[in-house]
Amino acid sequence: MKPMRAATRRRLIQRCAKLLRPNDQSKQQVTILLDLDVLEKLKRDGKGLQTRTNALLRDALGLR
């Protein structure tokens, strides 16, 4: 299997994040401290940092 291009991966993550959002769009603003390498990796894909982070957390917690 060929590795996925970064742009393709980014679009896939953004689409999945939109599908995983709860219907009521309820959100709570929080402050979180992240390791610099984690933040750099998340920022590397460009716009949508919060959406991607939320999708990754939902996936890690088994929330779909």
Mean pLDDT of 25-42: 89
| Mean pLDDT computed over every residue of the chain | 84
Structural domain including 26 reads 6-61
pTM of the prediction? 0.56
Number of structural domains (the chain) is 1
CA 37 to CA 25: how far, in whole Å?
29
Instruction: Decide if 21 is inside a domain.
Output: yes
Instruction: Decide if 36 is inside a domain.
Output: yes
Please check the confidence at residue 21 and state whether its pLDDT lies above 70: no
CA 28 to CA 42: how far, in whole Å?
20
Q: Check residue 35 and give its pLDDT.
A: 97
Contact at 8 Å (CB) between 42 and 53? yes
Number of CB atoms found within 10 A of residue 64's CB = 8
Instruction: Decide if 1 is inside a domain.
Output: no
